[in-house]
Structure 1
Amino acid sequence: MKKLIPGRIAALQAKLRELGLNAAMIYDRENLIYFAGVDDLEGGALAVPAEGEPELFCLWMEANHIRDASGIQKVTPYPFPANSQSTMMGAWLKRQNWKAPKLGFTRYFISLKDYQSLLAAAPDLEVCDIAIPCYEIRSVKAPEEIERMQTAGKALAAGMQAAVDCVRPGMMETDVLAEAEYAMAKAGSMGSSFRMQVLTHSRQLNLHPYASQTPIEDNGPVVIHLGASCRGYTAKMCRTVFLGTPKPETLRIYETLKEAQRITVDALRPGVTCGELYDAAAAYVKEQGFGKSWVMDHIGYGVGIRQSEFYPIIAKGSKTVLRENMVVDLLLPTIYIPGVGGPRITDTILIKEDGAEFLTEFPSGPVCK
């Protein structure tokens, strides 16, 4: 990854100049992985000026490792607790001697202490959100990134097989997840980047549920949504297992979603807009009589260091054009009909010059037990 870092920094600096910003102040693990090239940095931060050399701050005990592993040339260690990533970034900003500096942050990942240290160094600073520009820069994957996601995808297949093999009525959702996590770890996963789902039918219409100590019901679908990672890069996959004798309409909903995914994947290629993909899926769902219950305006996201990156978003009306070597997930939303809706399916998919490649390979089912 080290050889990729100069190009990534150059792309970020070009975006900073376009936005009229003096620097990007990067504290979050996701963008440190991407712009510094290390996936095991704790207590670190990266200052990237629009012009000039970036500087990476890290704990003094890790300095030799970070210098060896990172693609950043200027690595400055600090002793803790005398200093911290917050004070080091504040001192860096003060040295720039900018009048009313304009700084970019990724909106979710700055602590109060980080902000206070910058404000003390430059009371007249202005701030700007650069989360989406960072996601955009990260959206086209290098071969090394794709390789790590392929490794995560293989671990997912092992985890999904373990979950399918063990799931039965009366088990707790968390017990099924435990079997899946163990299988994924043995297959090379370094953990999930989100709270994974094993959901009995009565919990599937919640918007963001996760595996709980709820017993699994018989005669219905069980949603299994798993994530795996390899050296900072993720993949995710969702399947639905049907226990006993499920309602015919529930099975039809899953078959509809499965076919909508196939239609969308068949259209997935460079040059297509995200809105066109959404329309292809929505048209089929409507044709099957479920249009009023297809309530989500998005059916997928970019996937990379984060399991759901906000560029591209496969959304209704989106003009974002898909490019070769982007990686996306398709097609997670369900059909929202109380009592029968809830099944889901999704995969992590690489956009290639001539079509699409699944990075998550597992039979789409439906799996019936």
Structure 2
Amino acid sequence: MTLGNRKKNAVKAATAAKVDALLVTHLPDVRYVSGFTGSNAALVLTGNRAVLFTDGRYTAQAKAEAAGTRVVIEKKPAVTAACEWIERAGIQRCGFDAAHTTVAALEAMRKAVTSKVRRSLFHPVGALVAALREVKDADEISRMRVAAALGCSLFDQMLSIIEPGMTEIAVAAELEHQARLAGAEGMSFDTIVASGERSALPHGHATTAKLPRQGFVTLDFGVILDGYCSDMTRTVHMGNALPGEHEAYDAVLEAQEAAVAVVAPGVTAGDVDEAARSVLRRAKLDRFFTHSTGHGVGLEIHEGPRLAAKQTQPLAEGMVITIEPGIYIPGRFGLRIEDMVLVTATGGEVLTPSPKAWIQL
């Protein structure tokens, strides 16, 4: 899909929301619609115009990246300049994404225009661009395949590196170092390395704790390549399993694979969640599954749809989602298994095919 088509789709969504223009300020949305990757920008879309506002640091970059978009370089804040332009253009109703607009930001938008239009100009219309981003085009999917493959190769490398006595921070540092050497622009999020009793923390960021001689180690990480994120989790075991650990791992693996198996266009996000949760319910472990089953991923690590109980949004071909059930038993252990899955016309394609069977180091 070209940037031109993305602009048209965004304008079409704005028209359906009964506004004359759309003010885009969330930077991933700005990038998706215009191609601009800078850290300061506001984009205005109308029926036949696209205007990007940024500052002098990005004069050359904006003109190179934002093909087909008028670029305005301003010394004042980009959003202020955009709002002033919106008023001068005679726009009567301008939509904005309330989910990414703070009360303070909205107040600044209103102060940028004259009092006679202040109360009538800006209208919350929801996350219109974010909704468009949920379904990936062929180019986006290609980029995400590469990012996912890099994540898999990093996990394979870590299997020969991690050993009892290493600190969680050392494991995270080595993984991130190897990611950078392989060309990653950065990590999708703070790398999670949680071992022993700390594996019972769903978001146990790496600490100075040492990997045990006997116990689980959960690795949850992702890389950014060409702007797109990857996300995967694997849990390995150091030494021989303690009572109940192998059985718990098998239950989580069965739950994860059951959820992957039901992925298809038209299946609801809640259906996928229930496929995983029902397996853990039968194993009497569901009370230890304390988070949703997954989420969309793309230019951001967390995008729509949200895969959780009672979520009625249907999956669509081209979505890239995570499926990541886990259990967390305080004072004992926790484990999680996560894949990125592409929704295809016929089902779900796992983009992170690293081994998921029990790994003992």
Matched, 1:364 2:334: no
Which of 249, 255, 280 is the matching residue for 1:254?
A: 249
Write the mapping of 1:3-152 to structure 2, written as runs, cut at 5 A: 4-38=2-36, 40-49=37-46, 51-78=47-74, 82-98=75-91, 101-105=93-97, 107-108=99-100, 112=104, 115-122=107-114, 123-124=118-119, 125-128=121-124, 130-131=126-127, 133-152=128-147
Q: CA deviation at 1:176?
A: 0.3
Answering whether residue 298 of structure 2 is matched by residue 301 of structure 1, we say: no
TM-score of the aligned structures, taking structure 2 as reference length? 0.91
Q: Paired residue for 2:316? A: 323
After TM superposition, the structure 1 stretch with the greater mean CA deviation from structure 2, 117-126 or 189-198, is: 117-126
1:205 aligns with 2:200: yes
| Change in CA separation of 1:203 and 1:25 when aligned onto 2, cut-off 3 Å | farther
What SS is found at the alignment partner of 1:163?
Answer: helix
RMSD (Å), alpha carbons: 2.2
Bigger drift between 178-187 and 298-307 goes to 178-187
Q: Which moved more, 1:284-293 or 1:169-178?
A: 284-293
Q: How many residues align?
A: 357
Moved more, 207-216 or 180-189: 207-216
1:156-175 C-alpha deviation (Å, 9 max, x unpaired): 12221232222222222111
* 1:223-270, Cα deviation, whole Å (9 max, x unpaired): 100111111111111001111233231222222111111111111111
Alpha-carbon contact 1:250-1:340 (below 8 Å) kept: no
TM-score using structure 1 length: 0.89
Contact 1:301 1:330 survives alignment (8 Å)? yes
Percent identity, aligned pairs only, is: 25
Matches within 5 A, 1:249-288: 249-288=244-283
Contact 1:334 1:341 in 2 (8 A): no
Deviation at 1:64, TM superposition (A): 3.5
Cα gap change, 1:205/1:56 in structure 2, threshold over 3 Å: closer, same or farther? same
Secondary structure of 1:348's aligned partner = strand
1:352 Cα deviation (Å)? 1.2
- For residues 106 and 166 of structure 1, the distance between their equivalents in structure 2, rounded to whole angstroms, comes to 45
- For the 8 Å contact 1:158–1:183, the answer to whether it is kept is no
Instruction: Name the stretch that deviates more: 318-327 or 155-164.
Output: 155-164
Q: Determine the C-alpha separation between the residues in 2 that align with 1:339 and 1:192.
A: 29
Alignment partners' CA distance in 2, 1:113 and 1:283: 43
Q: CA separation in 1, counterparts of 2:40 and 2:207?
A: 32
Secondary structure of the 2:352 match is coil
Question: SS of the counterpart of 2:328?
Answer: coil
The 1-side partners of 2:279 and 2:189 are apart by: 30
1:144-293 alignment, distance < 5 Å: 144-293=139-288
State the alpha-carbon separation in 1 of the partners of residues 124 and 306 from structure 2. Answer: 21
Which amino acid in the other structure matches residue 320 of structure 2? Answer: V
| Per-residue deviation, 1:300 | 0.7
| Farther-moved stretch of structure 1 (180-189 vs 122-131) | 122-131
The answer (yes or no) to whether the contact 2:80–2:112 under 8 Å persists in 1 is: no
Structure 1 residue 330: Cα displacement: 0.5
